[in-house]
Amino acid sequence: MKIAINIPIINKEEISAVTNILKNDALTSSASQGGKHLQEFERVAASFVKSKYAVAVNSGTAALQAALHALDVKRGDEILIPSFTFVATANAVVSTGAKPVFVDILKENYTIDPDDLEKKINKKTRAIIPVHLYGNVASVEKLSKISKQYNIPIIEDSAQSLGTTYKGKHTGTFFEMGCYSMYPTKVMTAGEGGFVVTNNKKFRDKLLMIRNHGMVHGYDTRMFGLNLRLPEINAAIATVQMKKLPNFLKLRKKNADLLSKLISDLNIILPTQKKNENVNWYLYTIAIEKRDKILKKLNEKGIGAVSYYSIPVHKTPFYKLKTKLPITDWASSHVISLPIHPGVTPKNIEFIARTLNEIL
């Protein structure tokens, strides 16, 4: 038995959508508004997260890059981000010429620590990028106060939190812009892709130019841009997947609830939802002593458990900083994510729980 940590759930609807494009339609479009399938996806995506605008791009990383350029982030600027995240958050900052400044996290849900963040604000701080890690909600109310007090815009890294809400409002829609990923292992996929949401028309218009070499009509480049366009095939897959997303999320919650029930007596820290949160259960992440030993035993049993992230960004060879981030260091040596995606059956969940019981 092999149980992967996450897999794309693809069937005949996605295959049919791709086949129809290959037979009948243009594969991509350099028009300012994009092709018809891309525009349809943007309508569906904006409707799902209840945002005025959605601008689709070709990856979650591209979404972050586009949002940073829409804020006119430049060399010499500093962007406050957590180190306990996928490296794309930091790489997107570096790609603009700006400097990522790493902030510690909260032990309770692995998201950015507002108190540590506030200590690191200075004259060069241009933006804040909180990450809704594992689908958990960052401290949006405290971050909002900081943003207003210091007049610093916020870009939400919602790559892992599509479908997560706080007080009925979707992550990604609390601040200036929110960035999502549609990588194959996310809660829904485009094959590869991402999108940015905003309620600000000025940002939306800039994002449309940024994803298309700064152009509006043909070769009339008006600002810096890149080819960040999402091909029509990917947009069509994403449209089908977005319509299935509510059911995907329902199955993830069902699996998470069952797993929590079965392992609640073990000496581990279970993931929890805070008041008014409805998380998407992208990654069911526990914290445990002797993590590496237990992770190895789980993998030997065919359980695709993974440690996200055993090396925080500030300790990777490229960044290699001596920043003191004690909770980040603790989390990187204690967390294990367990499979609960829609392809995981109740029998699989029981096997995971039984295996953990045996190991411990």
Closest CA to 283 of 316, 309, 311: 309
Mean pLDDT over 316-336 rounds to 96
% of the chain exceeding 90 in pLDDT: 98
* pLDDT tens-place string over residues 285-302: 999 999 999 999 999 999
pLDDT at 356 over 80: yes
* pLDDT tens-place string over residues 20-68: 999 987 899 999 999 999 999 999 999 999 999 999 999 999 999 999 9
- What type of residue is 1? M
Mean pLDDT over 229-253 rounds to 98
Token look-up 């993931």 returns: 271
Residue 307 has what pLDDT?
98
**pLDDT band for position 218 (cuts 50, 70, 90):** confident
**pLDDT band for position 170 (cuts 50, 70, 90):** very high
What's the rounded Cα separation, in Å, for the pair 296 and 318? 27
* pLDDT tens-place string over residues 9-27: 999 999 999 999 999 878 9
Token pair in block for residue 127: 């933006």
**Which CATH class name applies to 246-359?**
alpha beta
What's the rounded Cα separation, in Å, for the pair 47 and 55? 12
HSE on the CB side for 208, CA within 13 Å? Answer: 20
Mean pLDDT over 204-222 rounds to 95
Tell me whether domains 12-240 and 246-359 share a fold: no
pLDDT at 141 over 90: yes
**CB of 161 closer than 8 Å to CB of 277:** no
User: What is the average pLDDT score of the chain?
Assistant: 97
pLDDT at 1 over 90: no
Residue 81 has what pLDDT?
98
3-state secondary structure of 266: coil
- What type of residue is 226? L
Residue 25 has what pLDDT?
77
**pLDDT band for position 87 (cuts 50, 70, 90):** very high
**CB of 61 closer than 8 Å to CB of 92:** yes
**pLDDT band for position 150 (cuts 50, 70, 90):** very high
Mean pLDDT over 131-153 rounds to 98
Residue 329 has what pLDDT?
98
Residue 245 has what pLDDT?
98
Domain ranges for the chain: 12-240, 246-359
Closest CA to 3 of 273, 353, 268: 353
**Which CATH class name applies to 12-240?**
alpha beta
Residue 216 has what pLDDT?
93
